Amino acid sequence: MKSIRYFAAILIALAGSSSLLLAHGNEHGSAKATIGATKVSIDFARPMLKGRDVMKLIHPGDLWRLGADVPTTIETDGDLDFGGTRLPKGKYFLMARFVEPGKWTLVVSSKERRAYEPNAKLAEVPMEVEEGQTPVDAMDIQLTNKGGRGDIEIAWGTFKLTASFAPAK
């Protein structure tokens, strides 16, 4: 009887913790790829547009945490090169900076958005911006191997943002 109560208590605790992670009902997403010999994964929660305009949600200079409810992370089992900046293997936070219309950058940081400070920025690389895409209501992040380079593609609303990186040499 004691073991049944213990098991029930564990189930209740797990149910409670998962509801905290999905407090707003946003779906979890992940992207994984092997770039060269390096395994890379990105974990995020998908914000929903629900009829809102992306450009009314963010202003020039703002950092966006690239997700909903929880910070978006990138994890790698090998060193990466983001625009000439070496990023040692490990787990980091991904954000995007809206610089001005048509210009975005991808920011890799040691701290998540709420605790972000300039010295936490480890790398910042320009992103290719494509506007006028078929609208995407639930943000999506794809990670692909393109000829030995990694591409991180973010789609939300009518935008597609792409940043590239490579395994460090």
Taking only the tens place, the pLDDT of each residue in 17-31 is: 333 344 457 889 999
Secondary structure of residue 103 in the 3-state scheme: strand
Asked whether residue 16 carries a pLDDT value surpassing 70, the answer given is no
- Supply the pTM of this predicted model: 0.82
- Residue 117 to residue 106: CA distance in whole angstroms: 15
Residue 88: DSSP 8-state: -
**First vs last C-alpha separation in the chain:** 58
- The whole-number pLDDT of residue 97 equals 94
Asked whether residue 118 carries a pLDDT value surpassing 60, the answer given is yes
Across the range 47-62, mean pLDDT stands at 80
